[in-house]
Each structure stands twice: as C-alpha cells, then as structure tokens.
Amino acid sequence: MNSPLIDPFARAITYLRVSVTDRCDFRCVYCMSENMTFLPKKDLLTLEELDRMCTNFIRLGVEKLRITGGEPLVRRGIMTFFDAMSRHLETGALKELTLTTNGSQLEKYADDLYAAGVRRINVSLDTLDDDKFAEITRWGRLPQVMRGIDAAQKAGLRVKINTVALAGFNEAELFTLQAWCAERDMDLTFIEVMPMGDIGNEDRITQYWSLKDLRTRLEERFTVSDLAERTGGPARYIRLEETGQKIGLITPLSHNFCESCNRVRITCTGEIYTCLGQEGHSDLRGPLRASDDDAHLETAIRAAIGLKPKGHDFDYSRQTASGQVSRHMSHTGG
C-alpha cells in the first residue's frame, strides 16, 4: 500500500501543489476576470481535509509540497495548516514545504511561515512600476508587496521572483528586474503566459512574449550559460556569468518541458489535475469524505495517477491559443 506513485510513463510523482483557496486579493489580468464568482465555502476542502489529503500523498512518496491559490495567505486560519504540515518536515518524510504568493500578506505572515518550517517562497511580481503594477493586478498596490518581500527576507526566507513575460507590458523592464533581483540576492524566473481561462477583454496572443526572444536580449548584454540543473519541474536555468545570477525560464509554449514532470495538482475542491495543460481531472473529495479509511482515498489517488498524460498541448504557433483550457489558473493553483 505504500509503494510510490508512478505514472504510465514511468515518472515518479514526488511533488504536490495544493490550492487552498480560489480567492485572491488581486485580479491579475492574465489569471482571472475582474468580476470573479468564487466557490461557496461548502465546496472547499476544510483545513483538516487538506491535512489528510496531503498526509496521504506524503505517505505515498511526495517529498515537496507547495501551497498555492488564489492567494493562499488570504485563507482564514491558513497558518494552522502550515503548522500541521511541519510535522512531516520534522520526521523527514517531507523534504520541503513552500508556497507561491502575490506577497500582499507576507508582512503579516513571514515570521510565522519561517517558524512552520518554510524556507523558500515564490513571489509573483511582473513589474516594479507602481502604476503598471496597479494596472496588471487591477486591485494590488506595489508598496504593500515590497514591504512583504522585505519582511520575508528579514525572517530568513529565500525569495524567488516569478515574472510573467508579457509583450508590450514588461519587456522594457527586463534588465531593471534582473538588476533588482541581483542586488537583493533573489532568484528570478520568467514564465511565458499560458492559455488558461476566460479573462474577458485580454487577448492571449497579444500578451505572448516568447522567452526565446527574452533570452536573446539577455545575451546582448551578458555572457549566458546553460545550467544542467533540473528539478523535475518546468524551469530550465541559465547563468549570467558577469553577475553569477541564476535565472529560470519556464517555456510551456516555446519549449515543452513535460518529459521530466514529477508533479500533480490538487484544487481547493479536491480535484486532482495531473497536467496543468489538460482538462482531464479526477475527484478526490468524494472518496475523502465517503470514508475515514484512507484505503479508499489511496485507491482513488492511484487511479488518477494512472491517467496522467504524457504532456500538454499549449500552442500559439498558428496565432490562435490552441490547447487552451477553460479553467482559470487560480482554480488549479498554477
């Protein structure tokens, strides 16, 4: 019963991303519509159910747990969940507990996160310009996020900045962002915009900025070396030799990264998505709530892993967002 989770393509599943809420205090234009309808509370897994779900995955070989949303830190009582997960760090069963955040609540929670065993966090940040930040997030305010990043670093958290590459929006800030992260000793990862969800008036095609072009621009100023480092995830890493800085490139459109995929995603409603870029999913909330016997849940988990596809189908090459999936990124948790 404790044999590891292996998908049909012999990939071991060791990384679980869990969305704890679909709610967020921002409305980023590439992530969700401005007027979102969020899920009723009864549909969400309780914090106790999230604990049981994650604990079962850890028992089956998951070693890295990333908490996502929405914005995970707006979930009421969320620190009780982080505190509960810390027991798996203490036993050594879980190697890393981390989260992806928009940074808005870090000023409040950074010390508590460190106390719960979190050592690294990803902060989503697409611009260093106050006005553009307000534009891209619709509801966000940059100074609040900057204070959060300050608090995170002061608490001892290693911060990585995730920046979505958006044509016509932050292209001119490439070197500003790079230099700012280097100055603060923060890693930086650029991400191509993905065709996910109905976002109203925003056009995925006009948003798309290939990271091949972004890399070319870096090569005009720096000596760029490819790094062999692989985490089983989507990022490929380069080093800017003049600064020693490591930069990640996540390229779901210009370079498929599926061959080494080691992860699955659980939504806040208990659905498991074994591929970010496919619609296929399975229900784990039903088996979780149907019985206190974890054997039923494990059977459902193994069945879902058995359906994991080889890869995604994102494609903009024909100037249409083919491979587009209907759910918002905030539903799956990124």
Q: Do 116 and 99 touch, CB atoms closer than 8 A?
A: no
Of 244, 206, 237, 202, nearest in space to 222 by CA = 244
Q: Which two tokens stand for residue 116?
A: 């719960």
- Rounded to an integer, what distance in angstroms lies between the CA atom of residue 253 and that of residue 210? 8
Q: Which two tokens stand for residue 102?
A: 């928009």
Q: Which two tokens stand for residue 126?
A: 């697409």
Residue 221 assigned ligand-binding role: no
Residue 158 assigned ligand-binding role: no
Rounded to the nearest 10 degrees, how much is the dihedral formed by the CA atoms of 233, 72, 125, 39? Answer: 100
Q: Which two tokens stand for residue 219?
A: 């090569």
Q: Coil, strand, or helix at residue 241?
A: coil
- Rounded to an integer, what distance in angstroms lies between the CA atom of residue 209 and that of residue 286? 40
Between the alpha carbon of residue 189 and those of residues 110, 181, 247, the distances in Å are 21, 10, 6
Residue 289 assigned ligand-binding role: no
Per DSSP, 12 falls in state B
Residue 17 assigned ligand-binding role: yes
Residue 54 assigned ligand-binding role: no
Residue 275 assigned ligand-binding role: yes
Residue 181 assigned ligand-binding role: no
Residue 194 assigned ligand-binding role: yes
Chain centre to alpha carbon of residue 171: 22
Residue 239 assigned ligand-binding role: no
Residue 308 assigned ligand-binding role: no
Residue 210 assigned ligand-binding role: no
Residue 28 assigned ligand-binding role: yes
- Rounded to an integer, what distance in angstroms lies between the CA atom of residue 117 and that of residue 91? 12
Of 17, 16, 81, nearest in space to 46 by CA = 81
Residue 100 assigned ligand-binding role: yes
- Rounded to an integer, what distance in angstroms lies between the CA atom of residue 227 and that of residue 237? 5
Residue 120 assigned ligand-binding role: no
Residue 20 assigned ligand-binding role: no
- Binding-site residues, in ranges, read 17, 24, 28, 30-31, 66, 70, 100, 124, 160, 194, 258, 261, 263-265, 275
- Binding-site residues for S-adenosyl-L-methionine, in ranges, read 30, 70, 124, 194
- Binding-site residues for [4Fe-4S] cluster, in ranges, read 24, 28, 31, 258, 261, 275
- Binding-site residues for GTP, in ranges, read 17, 66, 100, 160, 263-265
